[in-house]
Amino acid sequence: MSTRTPVTGIAPPPAPRRLLRAVCTLSAAALLLACGGGGGDVAGVGTGGTGSFSIGTVTGFGSVFVNGVRYEDDGARLIDDDGTVTILGSSANPLRVGMVVEVTGSDDGGVRSATQIAYGAELEGPVTAVDAAAGTFRVFGVTVRTTSTTVYEDIAGVASLAAGNVVEVHGLPDSAGRIVATHVEREATSEAAYAADGGTYRLRGPVDGLLSSSSGSTFTLRGVAIRTDGATQLDGTPTEGASVSVRLNPTLQSDGRYLAQRVKVRSASFDDLPSSAEAEIEGYVSDLDASAGNLSVAGYPVRLAANVAYEDGTAADLKNGVRIEAKGSVTNGVLVAARIEFESLDDDDDGDDDEVPGGLPEFEFKGTAACIECGASSGSFGIKGVTVTYDARTEFDDGLSGTTLEGRIVEVEAVAETSTGGTVYRATKIELDD
């Protein structure tokens, strides 16, 4: 991932989902696991309050918002798929709006603090095909599907991509084997330029066709041929069907395979959580057994509670391939879901999901406003690494105005608007941060 701090943005959403403003808690006595995605390392919860665990999409900064819930992040450990740990506040923040993250921490009387945030890209590699009309493109031949809420950096959208570009894609694997992108960044316009700059490719997925020998192993990951050798770093022991993340040398080897620099085994398990812990998982439904009330969400085992409540849909809408948030308590290693919120539906039973209609998604930023061009009635300013615009539709509170923004510590509620370099955010409300 690049170290620069570009403007982030998303494609204009005509009818995107409503963000769920809920957070899940875990027992304070437990050690929390950053399961499934970025880190996979155990992080302890501090004294006082209860623990918290959430898997979802970053929706703002100041500190960090995940699924619309604010976590204080001062001193939080950031851990990526390489196992590299940085402390927030000690260096530039690598997180971006739209990334899928796993947050462990604590909840002290409604004030939530992140102890650890794990993150990692689903794909980072060369674009092999683009279908702008369908809103899809391929990386390594893997289909990436975009939606109205996909976040873009350095590009205005899929139509700005071309074969040979190198992109980083964060998102959610769906039941059709695609990646539904929540964040897309163009890293380079060509593979040669990317390799010359020291870049590496990345891929997540299940191991297929594993063959091992004394000199290494070979396997495929989402159709990509990979091999390891004696220099490959192994974090866990890969087995057939296991979910892994790999870092690859970007030069295709003479045997037609990519050489893995690092292979990390990932886990989608609640085994390290205490009984009755609460959790919330965002992802796509698979392995649905409606009669038994069992399913998987993002690979995690889920069982429907007897009194499960549905938002933005009904029990009849629960199908394989739809995107939901499941929230409940963990019992014997299974999330017993008391609430299901639909983020996509398959109303026409065509096997493809469409976003749940609703109001514009909200993004939130808290920090010091740095004017770019602050006029009386319209203008723009930077805050927490993003660009925010305002105009006559923006509500100013606490005596603020465009001419008094500079240097003020503010809270901003915003929606997305398109720009050529990735979308900026239009403020719907600006007030002082109290």
Q: Binning pLDDT at 50, 70 and 90, where does residue 105 land?
A: confident
- Looking at residue 112, its pLDDT comes to 81
Strand 31-33 with 142-145, pairing: unpaired
Kindly indicate the confidence band of residue 275, based on its pLDDT and cuts at 50, 70 and 90.
Answer: low
Three-state SS string across 128-172, please? EEEECCCCEEEECCEEEECCCCCEEECCCCHHHCCCCCEEEEEEE
Burial category of 399 from C-beta neighbours within 10 Å (exposed 0-12, middle 13-18, buried 19 and up): exposed
pLDDT at residue number 92: 82
Percentage above 70 pLDDT, the chain: 85
Whether 11 shows a pLDDT value over 60: the answer reads no
Record the tokens describing residue 72, joined without a space: 């204080």
Evaluate whether 37 touches 266 at the Cβ level (below 8 Å): yes
* Phi, psi (deg, nearest 5) at residue 264: -120, 125
What's residue 4's pLDDT? 39
**Token pair for residue 406?**
């500079």
Q: Tell me, what's the pLDDT at 71?
A: 87
Helix or strand run (H / E) with residue 342: strand 334-342
pLDDT of residue 91: 77
CA distance 63 to 414: 16
Mean pLDDT of the chain: 84
Domains with residue ranges and CATH for the chain: 1-120+268-360 (no CATH), 205-267 (2.40.50), 363-432 (2.40.50.140)
Q: What is the pLDDT of residue 26?
A: 32
The model's pLDDT over 94-104, given as tens digits with 9 standing for 90+, comes to 899 999 998 88
**Highest mean pLDDT (candidates 39-53, 110-124, 226-240):** 226-240
Three-class SS of residue 196?
helix
- Percent of all residues in the chain with a pLDDT value above 90, rounded to a whole number: 61
Q: How far apart are CA 392 and CA 399, in angstroms?
A: 15
Average pLDDT over residues 198-218: 95
What is the pLDDT at residue 329? 83
Contact status, residue 185 vs residue 151, Cβ threshold 8 Å: no
More confident residue, 301 or 352: 301
Closest CA to 321 of 336, 293, 342, 307: 342
pLDDT in tens, 70-101: 888 888 999 999 999 999 877 788 899 999 99
Which range has the top average pLDDT, 14-23, 274-283, 342-351, 415-424?
Answer: 342-351
* Helix, strand or coil, per DSSP, at residue 316: helix
pLDDT band at residue 274, thresholds of 50, 70 and 90? low
C-alpha dihedral over 107, 109, 110, 116, to 10 degrees?
-20
Of the listed ranges 10-19, 60-69, 329-338, the one predicted with least confidence: 10-19
pLDDT in the model for residue 199? 95
Q: What does pTM read for this prediction?
A: 0.84
Which amino acid is located at 248 in the chain? L
Q: What is the pLDDT of residue 33?
A: 35
